[in-house]
């Protein structure tokens, strides 16, 4: 039996509950507080494949618990743990909603597989606040190290004091923190040399200052699939709309090339990355447990994806989201 409740800023008491079977409530709309990012992450864990659609409504499965308190009244790790337990408890019902796609793909779609190179072609992408260019260690290394090593930094009207590089940047990445620019450069060189990837240096468009790196990686032209990954930005531009605009530019680029699927993967503990994926319109697909050993530790990986068929609907929302973030940061 399951308990169905309306979750929101002032509506989470047991008087709102009614008893239903899991199969009766799959996909039913519940009220949620969309301003609570933790709740959004938890909801994405609860029901993979159901993107947040805006407004204040979200389809939600619950099972095995009486909902009598807010999600944000418990710690983030606990919330995600509970969400995972509920997801597993109703996995059978959730899977029943999936309908396999077995259609034969059109000839023009299949032809793109031979047209796309294994190593993504170099490209320059210009947005309102950022410019992306292929990473060049000869010109970019010092600037990228300066914005990521923990030292104070300033970009235009934004500034950031000294910070802990592990906490703000590298904890969930496969590399870092780096003792010096030489070690940092060696790590970046591996991305440049990857046969299936293209690292792009991100610059603030107004000042030309280097602020981070984003990669097109794990490219699979044979399946028209590619990943946005190994992405990081200096704290000086975190929360300014840079991440959102970079993501928009990359998605626009790869879907225009003919890719059918774009993936976003991160350490399952990386709540900032998971919140970003949802905010940008990616769909949560699940957690792959014991996926990697990173820095001598187990890593479970959270998987997100966006499909070409979804992009026409997501693109205008993401553009509006970028504009809102930039406007907020400029205040």
Can you tell me the distance from the alpha carbon of 273 to that of 64, in angstroms, rounded to the nearest whole number? 28
Domain boundaries, the chain: 2-96, 107-330
Largest CA distance in the chain: 64
Q: Are strands 210-220 and 225-233 parallel, antiparallel or unpaired?
A: antiparallel
Kindly tell me if the per-residue pLDDT of 126 is higher than 50. Answer: yes
Query: For the ranges 25-39, 146-160, 246-260, 264-278, which has the lowest average pLDDT?
Result: 25-39
Nearest Cα to 71, choosing from 96, 47, 35?
35
Of 52 and 145, the structure prediction assigns the larger pLDDT to 145
Q: What CATH code would you report for 107-330?
A: 3.40.630.30
CA triplet 252, 258, 260: central angle to 5 degrees?
90
Of 54 and 42, the structure prediction assigns the larger pLDDT to 42
Kindly tell me if the per-residue pLDDT of 54 is higher than 80. Answer: no
- Write 94-97 long-range contacts (CB < 8 A, 24+): 94/26, 94/47, 94/48, 94/49, 94/61, 96/23, 96/26, 97/26, 97/27, 97/49
């Amino acid at each position: 039996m399951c308990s169905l409740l309306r979750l929101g800023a002032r509506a989470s008491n047991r008087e709102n509950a009614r008893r239903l079977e899991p199969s009766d409530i799959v996909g039913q709309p519940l009220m949620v507080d969309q301003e609570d990012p933790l709740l959004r992450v938890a909801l994405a864990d609860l029901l993979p494949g159901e993107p947040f659609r805006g407004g204040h409504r979200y389809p939600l499965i619950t099972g095995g618990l009486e909902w009598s308190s807010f999600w944000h009244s418990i710690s983030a790790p606990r919330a995600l743990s509970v969400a995972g337990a509920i997801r597993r408890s109703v996995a059978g019902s959730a899977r029943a909603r999936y309908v396999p796609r077995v259609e034969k793909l059109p000839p023009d779609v299949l032809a793109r597989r031979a047209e796309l190179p294994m190593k993504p072609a170099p490209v320059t992408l210009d947005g309102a606040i950022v410019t992306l260019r292929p990473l060049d260690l000869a010109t970019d290394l010092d600037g990228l190290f300066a914005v990521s090593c923990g030292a104070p930094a300033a970009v235009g009207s934004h500034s950031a004091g000294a910070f802990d590089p592990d906490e703000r940047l590298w904890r969930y990445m496969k590399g870092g923190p780096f003792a010096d620019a030489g070690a940092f450069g060696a790590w970046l060189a591996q991305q440049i040399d990857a046969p299936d990837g293209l690292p792009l240096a991100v610059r603030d468009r107004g000042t030309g200052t280097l602020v981070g790196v984003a990669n097109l990686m794990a490219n699979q032209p044979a399946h028209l699939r590619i990943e946005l990954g190994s992405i990081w930005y200096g704290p000086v531009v975190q929360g300014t709309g840079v991440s959102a605009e970079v993501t928009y530019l990359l998605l626009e680029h790869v879907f225009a090339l003919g890719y059918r699927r774009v993936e976003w993967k991160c350490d399952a503990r990386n709540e900032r990355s998971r919140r970003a994926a949802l905010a940008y319109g990616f769909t949560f697909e699940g957690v792959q447990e014991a996926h990697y050993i990173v820095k001598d530790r187990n890593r479970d990986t959270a998987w997100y994806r966006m499909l070409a068929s979804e992009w026409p609907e997501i693109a205008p929302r993401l553009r509006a989201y970028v504009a809102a973030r930039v406007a907020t940061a400029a205040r």
